[in-house]
Amino acid sequence: MSSLQENIRKIKSDLGNSSDIIIQEVRIGKKADQALGILYTDGLVDKNVITDYIRASLLLDTRFNEADPSNTDTLDVAQVLQKFVTTIGDAQDIHTFDDLYNGLLSGDAIILFDGSTKAKAVSAQGWQNRGVTEPSAESVVRGPREAFTETLRTNTSLIRRKIKDPNLWMETKQIGRVTKTEVAFMYIKGIVNDKVVEEVRERLDRIDIDGILESGYIEEMIQDDVFTPFPTVYNSERPDVIAAELLEGKVAILVDGTPFVLVVPALFVSFLHAAEDYYHRADISSLIRILRYLGIFIALFGPSLYVAITTFHQEMLPTQLLVSLASQREGVPFPAFFEAIMMEVAFEILREAGLRMPRTIGPAVSIVGTLVIGQAAVEAGIISAAMVIVVSTTAISSFVFPSYSLANSIRILRFPFIILADTFGLFGVIVGTIATLLHLCSLRSFGVPYMSPFAPMILPDQKDAILRLPQWAMFSRPRLISQINVTRKQNVPPRKPEPRQ
């Protein structure tokens, strides 16, 4: 419609006369014969932009004269906007109401013209957002102290600060019929596998849902295998981690409204690597990684091995240890299986309670609750002291994982292993382990084997799997991820200092 009043009436009706939709009608020109409408959403725009730039530019008669010096009675509004208003930011022509509502509710200022079917959307975003702070989920001793925020453009700028290369490309899509959430994915052209980029693009295009409120929505809809406890999409809130993943040939998916960025393809070893591994010396990082693999073994098999050995295979224990355990279990009314289940469930409840409680009292309540419940259960003869030690060691080992999503997978699998240990002993634990390994080897993440470089075994990629070689020896990228530009640097060892004469 070309009538300004009819357009404003329709906009008010479609938006339910919402009180945060501000509509201002102004008249411009020497004779005030040109009517305009300025629309914006209160709270999403910078009001200084509206007042100091848009309104001021439209109401200055001297600029109107400059717009059309040959005819002071006629005002070319489009020319005025082109010369003065659009200098404050991006400006786009709007021809449909859907585009108008999308821009209006995204923080743009909309300028309507009387007698024209075309409107103008001027970028004027200015909502309140959280600043760049220290990461809370991935804290490190040495490394950058910055984390992503809930603003998409802030997150993309943090990545571009790390990678100043014109080959860092980005594509943006709107996903969600109602929320219309901005989703962007970034990759380095010339390093990434083009087939992976095309697969990411196709999977994002297939998403048809009302709303996307967090990157977890995207993760569930693009992952390869749904029925698996293991995460096949990596996520991080650290810009340095995402930059390092991009340099390996992976694709980063950013979602507006969340500080957690997704990375595909994801490998099992990626969830056991931390950014701090590359900031320390190679020997220190290798030792820490060995401790992590030991921690995953204890966290997964600790309670099940205890239940299997004390129930079926007492002959594996030394005599003195067996006598000590038997004396501790004297008077305990429950078998080891029920002890393990009760303690594991109690600890999981305490951990979740500590996360949901206020930060000032959460850690104190969880620690004190664990100590009090464990000590009281031992003194009451309900739980043996050895079981408290096993469950506590298991719980501590589960916190060594850099990735919280992998820790959740181990928490889930711990209970089936306890059941197998109580039913079949060590035989059940071994069968469960083989089944888990077979399941891991069958997983893929965007076409890449989940367990590479172990299965299939890729010897050149072992330099950064369990152990980490020095930086000068890490001269190639993962073979199955980056198949175009595999060489990262020349394999030149550091020069030894010459002895003084």
133, part of any domain = no
- DSSP conformation class of 125: B
What does the pLDDT read at residue 14? 86
Give the pLDDT confidence score for residue 72 in this predicted structure.
42
Q: How many CB atoms lie within 10 A of CB 356?
A: 8
- Burial letters 132-145, b for 16+ CB under 10 A, else e: beebeebebeebbe
Overall number of domains in the chain? 3
b/e burial code for range 26-49 (CB count within 10 A of at least 16 → b): eebbeeeebbbbbbbbeebbbeeb
Tokens of 91: 């400006």
380 and 315 in a common domain: yes
Assess whether 94 and 118 both reside in one domain: yes
Q: Are residues 427 and 286 in the same domain?
A: yes
Please state the rounded mean pLDDT for residues 281-294.
91
* 500 lies in some domain: no
Q: Which residues contact 342 (CB under 8 A, 6 or more apart)?
A: 334, 383
- Tell me whether strands 108-113 and 91-94 are parallel, antiparallel or unpaired: unpaired
pLDDT at 74: 43
Q: Is residue 488 part of a domain?
A: no
Angle in degrees, 0-180, between the axes of helices 239-247 and 152-162, rounded to the nearest 10: 60
Q: Of the spans 30-34, 184-188, 384-388, which averages the highest pLDDT?
A: 184-188
Picking from 266, 299, 324, the residue at the C-terminal end of a domain is 266
Does one domain contain both 365 and 392?
A: yes
- Asked whether residue 346 carries a pLDDT value surpassing 70, the answer given is yes
116 with 14, same domain? Answer: yes
Do 379 and 321 share a structural domain?
Answer: yes
For residue 467, tell me if it sits in a domain. no
* 3-class state of residue 318 by DSSP: coil
* Residue 69 clears pLDDT 80, i.e. is over it: no
Is 182 a residue whose pLDDT tops 50?
yes
Q: Which of 229-238, 258-267, 328-337 shows the lowest per-residue confidence on average (mean pLDDT)?
A: 328-337
Same domain, 83 and 202: no
Q: Each residue of 484-494: pLDDT tens digit?
A: 777 776 666 66
Residue 402 pLDDT greater than 80, yes or no = yes
- Is residue 317 located within the same domain as residue 420? yes
Would you say residue 306 has pLDDT above 70?
yes
484 Ramachandran zone, left/alpha/beta (phi>0; psi -120 to 50): alpha
Q: Which of 432, 449, 466 is the last residue of a domain?
A: 449
Mean pLDDT of 328-349: 84
pLDDT at 478 over 50: yes
Using CA atoms, how far apart are residues 446 and 198, in angstroms rounded to an integer? 10
Q: What is the domain extent for residue 105?
A: 4-123
Look at residue 371 in the predicted model and tell me its pLDDT. Answer: 67
Are 313 and 441 found together in one domain?
Answer: yes
- Mean pLDDT (the chain, rounded): 83
Q: Is a pLDDT exceeding 80 seen at residue 255? A: yes
Inform me whether the pLDDT recorded for 28 exceeds 80: no
Give a yes or no: residue 137 inside a domain: no
- Confidence class for position 29, pLDDT limits 50, 70, 90: low
pLDDT band at 60 (very low <50, low <70, confident <90, very high): low
Which pLDDT value is given to residue 359? 65
- Reported as a single tens digit per residue, the pLDDT across 108-161 is 888 887 777 788 888 777 776 777 788 877 888 888 888 899 888 889 999 999
**Mean pLDDT value of segment 412-441:** 93
280-to-276, 351, 398, 490 alpha-carbon distances in Å: 7, 31, 23, 21
Q: Is 388 within the bounds of a domain?
A: yes
Q: What is the mean pLDDT of residues 223-242?
A: 90
* 441-459 pLDDT, tens digit each: 999 999 899 998 998 888 8
* 262 DSSP β-pair partners: 235, 253
Burial annotation 249-259 (CB, 10 A radius, 16+ → b, else e): bbbbbbbbebb
Tally Cβ neighbours within 10 Å of residue 6. 10
Q: How far apart are CA 487 and CA 492, in angstroms?
A: 13
The DSSP secondary structure of 413-454, one letter per residue, reads HHHHHHHHHHHHTHHHHHHHHHHHHHHHHH-EETTEETTTTT
DSSP string, 444-471: EETTEETTTTTTTT-GGGGGBSSSB--G
39 and 89 together in one domain:
yes
Among candidate residues 168, 430, 452, 176, the one with its CA nearest the CA of residue 301: 430
Please determine, for residue 17, whether its predicted confidence score (pLDDT) is greater than 50: yes
Examine the pLDDT at 30 and tell me if it is beyond 70. Answer: no
Pick the last residue of a domain from 449, 475, 496: 449
Comparing 2 with 40, the larger pLDDT belongs to 40
482 backbone dihedrals φ, ψ, rounded to 5°: -100, 100
Does residue 479 lie within any of the structural domains? no
Which tokens is 490 given? Answer: 């020349």
Who has greater pLDDT, 251 or 101?
A: 251
Domain for residue 482, yes or no?
no
Pairing of strands 261-264, 448-449: unpaired
- The rounded percent of the chain whose pLDDT value lies above 70 is 86
Q: Please give the model's pTM, rounded to 2 decimal places.
A: 0.83
Q: Are residues 338 and 406 in the same domain?
A: yes
For residue 396, give Cα distances in angstroms to 180, 389, 407, 411, 432: 42, 11, 11, 12, 23
* 288 and 261 assigned to the same domain: no
Residue 81's contacts (CB-CB under 8 Å, 6 or more residues apart) are 91, 111, 120
What pLDDT score does 276 carry? 86
Please state which of the ranges 41-45, 222-226, 279-283, 367-371 shows the lowest mean pLDDT.
Answer: 367-371
pLDDT at position 311 over 80: yes
- Structure confidence at residue 333 as a pLDDT band (50, 70, 90): confident
